[in-house]
């Protein structure tokens, strides 16, 4: 008789292999899981060695609790964990692991060897396992703690092996994870080798020292501490000054109860106060720790555990936003008033694409209300037509409440925040250095050199990228002879310099300058070329952006009026006008503030006037 049963339970080794696909995607995932286990075991020193970007072997050694023989055997079984026992435990997770599937998943797709010894044990135990083979378990001599060696990853899943990227790419993933682990646990020593090359060895320290040891002096000197404490969440950590912003997000780190997490809405909460301080496509540096009650957050959203769901996402968004804004305005990087005013003008902003390229969050239409921190997720079609069946009454009311319009419209989001036309009152100059301007709310103080630098910088960038500027022809051309290293730079950038208004003719070693940009001050023409090249060379070490950005910054630095330069009323007027016509009037090309604002309210408070 034909059997009618077509459904069969999969054998363990197949179901393990399927499940492994979710946990173990690349060598980096193995390292992440093994380091988490070491931290959960209370280790305060962890050594990681990755051979051939982990494709050949991965070795993780910790000095944590170690395991007994019985636990060692169980540890590689699926859903075997010492970290939770009941479903209540699942709601208040305080360890990094809890799913009990990492070791089982690794053992399903690679050769694994674990050596472990508990503090009170006479000797250790060594286990080796590989898919479809018997497990061996024998006594061994080893240090207190646990060592795990993983070899031949994906040897039995060739399809997945094929999808591994080049060593360089895989190593970059590993390195990112190692940086994150080390930043999340400054109390633990981390030693990390790429083959036999030491990548870093960082001793237990404060978070600030950990950042310094990992990222170097430039970063550690550009940090601002942040702090916030409420019933919902405690926030600590550091944010970087605007000049530390980078084109990639590699310098952005969130930890929730010491677990690295990714969240594009929270990343936006950090980014938002930097708006107008950094270019749109740049990402500020930060290490932000959130501590909150583990029952108020769900970490069991994804097998890799880096996405979390907060009960009070909105409150946390606000708290981060405020903590970052406070730190920046305390350091006088952003004027407090300007910060609020800009948000009120345009409270809605589209969230940028996912913070992690492999994240499963979709990057479709999500908006944040920057006044309330509300995150609005929606798909365009849902809101486009009033009578679309997907629109529930609830959606509609929420939408109307938030936007004051019916949801038949596409969301009225402006891409850019316009700085309103400002009416400026009287101006005066302090020590030929700062310009004081009375405005409706109090007084604005502008650093004249930094302001002029910003103006020339933006103008030069436009000239370089869009429309070249005419220069001022010199009556008598200036002949310049450059040092060989400067000559190399000249050859590299002279076409761009011509766009700024320079005109050259080159004869052998000599360069004859027959026109200079109008911004070059009369009487300094003969030094202009040499000065700009010198500046360019100096900036090259600290401004790893494109060279046009550097040329514009060098031009700004060379041509801007200096402190000590007395300005007439009308010169001040036009300087301020030009400044506010800039895309980013608040910060000079090196990230220092240009404008401070003091509110009348603040004066009243200090003078003890109550209202
Ligand atoms: P989980 O971490 O989710 O519990 P794992 O598969 O990663 O699941 O580990 C299974 C169990 O093995 C852990 O719960 C823990 O008891 C034990 N274990 C794993 N790694 C270590 C280690 N480095 N030191 C001590 N115990 C470990
Ligand atoms: Mg684990």
83 lines ligand 1 (CB under 6 A): yes
81 lines ligand 1 (CB under 6 A): yes
Please tell me the distance between residue 549's alpha carbon and the centre of ligand 1 in angstroms: 50
Which residue owns the Cα nearest ligand 1 atom 21?
37
Q: Which residues of 254-268 are buried (b: 16+ CB within 10 A; e: fewer)?
A: bbbbbbbbbbbbbbb
Q: What percent of the chain has pLDDT over 90?
A: 44
Q: Which of 34, 75, 109, 303 to mutate to test the pocket of ligand 1 (most atoms within 8 A of CB)?
A: 75
**What string of DSSP letters covers 425-447?**
--EEEETTTEEEEEETTEEEEEE
Please tell me the distance between residue 357's alpha carbon and the centre of ligand 2 in angstroms: 23
99 lines ligand 1 (CB under 6 A): yes
Please tell me the distance between residue 355's alpha carbon and the centre of ligand 2 in angstroms: 24
What's the token pair of residue 499?
């766009």
Backbone angles phi, psi at 160, to 5 degrees: -75, -35
Residue 376, strand partner residues: 367
Which stretches does DSSP call E strand in 466-502?
471-481
72 lines ligand 1 (CB under 6 A): no
Residues of the chain falling short of pLDDT 70:
1-2, 334-425, 542-546, 611
Other CB atoms within 10 Å distance of the CB of residue 530: 17
Which residue owns the Cα nearest ligand 1 atom 1?
100
Name, in order, each residue with C-beta under 8 angstroms of 232's C-beta and a sequence gap of 6 or more.
292, 296, 312, 315, 316, 319
Nearest ligand (C-alpha, residue 36): 2
Q: Which of 81, 98, 109, 117 to mutate to test the pocket of ligand 1 (most atoms within 8 A of CB)?
A: 81
Nearest ligand (C-alpha, residue 74): 1
Please tell me the distance between residue 127's alpha carbon and the centre of ligand 1 in angstroms: 14
d(CA 144, CA 477): 78
**What string of DSSP letters covers 104-132?**
HHHHHHSEEEEEEE-TT-SSEEEEEE-TT
Kindly tell me the burial class for residue 64, based on how many C-beta atoms sit within 10 Å of its own C-beta (0-12, 13-18, 19 or more): buried
Residue 62, strand partner residues: 46, 146
What's the token pair of residue 586?
């608040």
Q: Three-class SS of residue 456?
A: helix
d(CA 14, CA 108): 8
Nearest ligand (C-alpha, residue 83): 1
448 lines ligand 1 (CB under 6 A): no
Per this entry, what is the length of the chain?
Answer: 611
Q: What is the pLDDT of residue 405?
A: 52
Please tell me the distance between residue 335's alpha carbon and the centre of ligand 1 in angstroms: 49
Residue with tokens 């300087």: 575
Q: What is the pLDDT of residue 354?
A: 37
Q: Which residues of 194-220 are buried (b: 16+ CB within 10 A; e: fewer)?
A: beeeebeebeeeebeebbbbbbeeebb
539 lines ligand 1 (CB under 6 A): no
- Nearest-atom number in ligand 1 for the CA of 33 is 7
Degrees, nearest 5: CA angle 323-327-328: 120
Which residue owns the Cα nearest ligand 1 atom 13?
81
Q: What is the pLDDT of residue 586?
A: 80
Query: Residue 245: in which H helix or E strand, if any?
Result: none
- Nearest-atom number in ligand 1 for the CA of 95 is 2
**What string of DSSP letters covers 546-563?**
-HHHHHHHHHHHHHSPPT
82 lines ligand 1 (CB under 6 A): yes
Q: What is the pLDDT of residue 246?
A: 87
Q: What is the pLDDT of residue 357?
A: 36
Nearest ligand (C-alpha, residue 100): 1
Kindly tell me the burial class for residue 483, based on how many C-beta atoms sit within 10 Å of its own C-beta (0-12, 13-18, 19 or more): exposed
Which residue owns the Cα nearest ligand 1 atom 12?
75
Please tell me the distance between residue 539's alpha carbon and the centre of ligand 2 in angstroms: 46
Residue 224, strand partner residues: 239
Which residue owns the Cα nearest ligand 1 atom 23?
38
- Nearest-atom number in ligand 1 for the CA of 103 is 6
User: 449, 564 in Cβ contact below 8 A?
Assistant: no
268 lines ligand 1 (CB under 6 A): no
Q: Three-class SS of residue 61?
A: strand
Query: Residue 26: in which H helix or E strand, if any?
Result: none
pLDDT tens digit sequence for 150-176? 999 999 988 888 889 999 999 999 999
300 lines ligand 1 (CB under 6 A): no
97 lines ligand 1 (CB under 6 A): yes
């Amino acid at each position: 008789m034909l059997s009618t049963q077509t459904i069969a339970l999969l054998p363990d080794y197949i179901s393990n292999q399927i499940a492994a696909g979710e946990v173990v995607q690349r060598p980096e995932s193995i390292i992440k899981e093994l380091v988490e286990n070491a931290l959960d075991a209370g280790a305060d020193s962890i050594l990681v060695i990755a051979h051939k970007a982990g494709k050949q072997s991965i070795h993780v050694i910790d000095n944590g609790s170690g395991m007994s023989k019985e636990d060692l055997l169980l540890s590689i079984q699926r859903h075997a964990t010492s970290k939770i026992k009941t479903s209540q435990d699942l709601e208040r997770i305080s360890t990094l692991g809890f799913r009990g599937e990492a070791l089982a998943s690794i053992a399903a797709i690679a050769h694994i060897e674990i050596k472990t010894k508990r503090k009170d044990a006479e000797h250790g135990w060594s286990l080796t396992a590989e898919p479809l083979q018997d497990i061996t378990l024998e006594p061994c001599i080893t240090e207190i703690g646990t060592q795990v060696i993983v070899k031949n990853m994906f040897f039995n899943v060739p399809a997945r092996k094929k999808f591994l990227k080049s060593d360089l790419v895989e190593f970059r993933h590993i390195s990112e994870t190692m940086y994150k682990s080390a930043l999340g646990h400054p109390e633990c020593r981390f030693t990390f080798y790429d083959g036999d090359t030491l990548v870093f060895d960082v001793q237990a320290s404060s978070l600030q020292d950990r950042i310094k040891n990992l990222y170097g002096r430039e970063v550690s000197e550009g940090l601002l501490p942040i702090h916030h404490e409420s019933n919902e969440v405690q926030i600590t950590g550091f944010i970087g000054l605007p000049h530390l912003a980078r084109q990639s997000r590699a310098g952005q780190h969130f930890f929730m109860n010491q677990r690295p997490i990714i969240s594009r809405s929270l990343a936006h909460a950090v980014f938002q106060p930097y708006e107008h301080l950094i270019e749109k496509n740049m990402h500020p540096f930060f290490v932000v720790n959130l501590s909150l009650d583990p029952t108020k957050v769900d970490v069991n959203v994804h097998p890799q555990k880096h996405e979390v769901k907060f009960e009070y996402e909105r409150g946390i968004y606000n708290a981060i936003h405020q903590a970052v804004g406070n730190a920046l305005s305390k350091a006088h990087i952003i004027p407090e008033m300007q910060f609020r005013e800009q948000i009120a003008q345009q409270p809605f902003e589209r969230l940028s694409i996912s913070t992690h390229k492999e994240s499963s969050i979709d990057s479709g239409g999500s908006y944040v209300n920057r006044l309330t921190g509300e995150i609005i997720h929606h798909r365009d079609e849902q809101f486009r037509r009033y009578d679309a069946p997907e629109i529930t009454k609830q959606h509609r009311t929420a939408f109307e409440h938030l936007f004051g319009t019916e949801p038949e419209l596409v969301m009225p989001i402006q891409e850019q925040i316009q700085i309103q036309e400002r009416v400026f009152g009287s101006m005066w100059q302090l020590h030929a250095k700062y310009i004081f301007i009375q405005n409706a709310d109090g007084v604005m103080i502008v650093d004249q050199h930094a302001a002029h630098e910003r103006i020339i910088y933006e103008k030069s960038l436009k000239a370089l990228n869009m429309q070249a500027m005419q220069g001022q022809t010199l009556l008598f051309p200036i002949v310049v002879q450059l040092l060989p290293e400067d000559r190399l730079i000249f050859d590299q950038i002279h076409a761009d310099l011509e766009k700024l208004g320079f005109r050259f003719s080159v004869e052998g070693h000599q360069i004859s300058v027959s026109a200079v940009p109008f911004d070059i001050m009369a009487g300094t023409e003969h030094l202009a070329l040499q000065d700009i090249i010198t500046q360019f060379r100096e900036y090259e070490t600290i401004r790893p952006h494109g060279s046009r950005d550097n040329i514009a910054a060098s031009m700004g630095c060379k041509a801007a009026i200096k402190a000590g330069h007395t300005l007439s009323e009308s010169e001040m007027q036009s300087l301020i006008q030009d400044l506010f016509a800039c895309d980013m009037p608040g910060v000079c090309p090196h990230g220092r503030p240009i404008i401070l604002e003091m509110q009348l309210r603040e004066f009243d408070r200090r003078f003890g006037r109550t209202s």
